[in-house]
């Protein structure tokens, strides 16, 4: 059954039962997300099924910057030596009840497509993530994210690569 819809978080969505296995990601959805939305610190998009308001997955994006010195040498070529504008995928999580059904992939591709759309309106050089653990790092590397020099879990994907990945 692939009737997932990804939409902007609304008050009508139910996230209280959400459990992805990572307490910090569960707590964010249950207790902090509304404050982040109100204060314009991030935008959260949720995966729901049919007319059910239960949240089965989500991601949060925000603007950010990556220090030039953190870029791998190959990525730094022909770029100015100052922080580069990025979209930060701050969180991405899937409820345990639907893990293994490729919902994480659907959420990631939606975040990348949304970032690509944003890049048409303002300067965005890449999408970055801070993988929470080795398993998350491996997930992002499937989409060609590469480690930055400051941390093996701080990963980077140029908009040019996203454009190639999402070509119809």
Name the catalytic one among 36, 59, 140, 156.
140
Dihedral sign from CA coordinates of 45, 46, 52, 54:
negative
Largest CA distance in the chain: 48
Helix, strand, coil: what percent of the chain each, to 5? Answer: 35, 30, 35
Task: Give the Cα separation of 18 and 166 in Å (integer).
Answer: 29
Q: Determine whether 58 is an active site residue.
A: no
Q: Which residues form the catalytic set?
A: 140
């Amino acid at each position: 059954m692939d009737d997932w819809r990804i939409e902007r978080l609304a008050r009508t969505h139910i996230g209280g039962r959400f459990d992805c296995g990572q307490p910090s990601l569960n707590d964010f959805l249950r207790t902090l997300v509304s404050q982040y939305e109100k204060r314009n610190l991030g935008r959260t998009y949720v995966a729901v099924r049919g007319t059910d308001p239960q949240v089965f997955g989500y991601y949060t994006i925000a603007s950010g910057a990556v220090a030039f010195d953190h870029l791998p040498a190959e990525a730094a070529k022909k770029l100015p030596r100052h922080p580069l504008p990025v979209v930060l995928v701050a969180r991405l999580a899937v409820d345990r009840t639907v893990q293994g059904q490729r919902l994480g992939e659907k959420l990631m591709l939606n975040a990348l497509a949304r970032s690509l759309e944003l890049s048409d309106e303002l300067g965005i050089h890449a999408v970055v993530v801070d993988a929470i653990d080795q398993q998350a790092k491996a997930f992002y590397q499937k989409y060609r994210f590469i480690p930055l020099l400051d941390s093996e879990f701080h990963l980077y994907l140029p908009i040019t690569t996203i454009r190639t990945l999402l070509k119809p």
